[in-house]
Amino acid sequence: MQPETESRKTVLSLIQPTGTPTLGNYLGALKNWAAVSNDYDCIYGVADLHSITVPTFRENPAQLRKNTLDLYALLIALGIDPEKNILFVQSQVPTHAQLAWILNCYTQYGEASRMTQFKDKSARYGANVSVGLFDYPVLMAADILIYGADYVPIGADQKQHLELARNICDRFNGIYGPVLKMPEPLIGKAGAKICSLQDPLKKMSKSDDNPKAYVSMLDEPNVIMKKIKSAVTDSEAEVCCREGKDGVNNLMAIYSCCTGKTNEEIEAEFRGKGYGDFKTAVGEAVCATLEPIQQRYRELITDKAYLEGCMARGAEAATRLSQRTLSKVMKKVGFYPPARG
């Protein structure tokens, strides 16, 4: 594992192990994780602490453990080299939770209560809402601030959380000086938002009640083809990108991300052809894109010892790096340094 260098900027990103990532997750974010490691020192984590904020995983520890290992293997399979990047599991790096508690005391109740995702999820879970669900944006702020990273990739649905992290950072630094470093957002290029195959006005999500609405990164080719062929389009039978053709626009975005073709090139390729030909081509392009990742995943998931060894080394590196920020914070707040045996 290469140490961070002075000349390269640092990128940080975490993903929850709440299920196999979708094609939308891959094309919108994960595809870039491996790519940016050529230009940045990258710190990537499986955010398992966040997963227990909801009953699904809080009450099913075996599933959470399996999901964590599966996701860790999948991240390596899509090209993230654990020898060149820091790749860790969040619960194995205690500094995240330690900083989160401190930052809780510098977060106003009102700003935390305005988080829209808490409102949405609390409505879904009713009486089974935990304090952790309310508080997880502060843990996310700790995730963002603990490494002193330069950039953090975000989507539109995470903008509010990044703003909260910035508010907390500014408040803390306003009291103690420039202790915490707020990273800049790193906005991805094409494929920033891949939509549901059944409702193209919504983002593709693995939590969708309709399994035809999303493609999982580990779906078999025949399943992928069926889902793409059942995707919502329209009655015009014309492959072109314009307002009002949300289903076709979504499929064109997927095809563009998988093939590198522009909308103009796609329109020319399918001029005079129907949606059947178009959907077949999109499905085949998706299968071709995911096949090498799936193959590498199948190899990795059978080698648990290798994966757990990578986890241990990643956790050690992440703890060592994040401890620098935590130690500064604790000193400024007035805590005694950890006792030495």
The one catalytic residue among 121, 181, 193, 273: 121
Q: What is the dihedral of CA 5, 91, 169, 157, to 10 degrees?
A: 100
* Residue 84 is among the residues annotated as catalytic for this protein: no
The one catalytic residue among 9, 181, 193, 206: 206
* DSSP letter for each residue of 109-168: HHHHHT-HHHHHHHHHHGGG--HHHHHHHHHHHHHHHTT--SEEE--GGGHHHHHHHHHH
> Exposed (0-12), middle (13-18) or buried (19+): which is 176, by Cβ within 10 Å?
middle
C-alpha–C-alpha distance, residues 80 and 238, integer Å: 39
- Eight-class DSSP state of 84: T
* Residue 121 is among the residues annotated as catalytic for this protein: yes
* Residue 203 is among the residues annotated as catalytic for this protein: yes
The one catalytic residue among 31, 203, 227, 279: 203
Whose tokens are 């920033």? That residue is 192
Assign 3-class secondary structure to 170-216.
HHHHHHHCCCCCCCEEECCCCCCCCECCCCCCCECCCCCCCHHHCCE
- The residues annotated with a catalytic role in the active site are 121, 203, 206
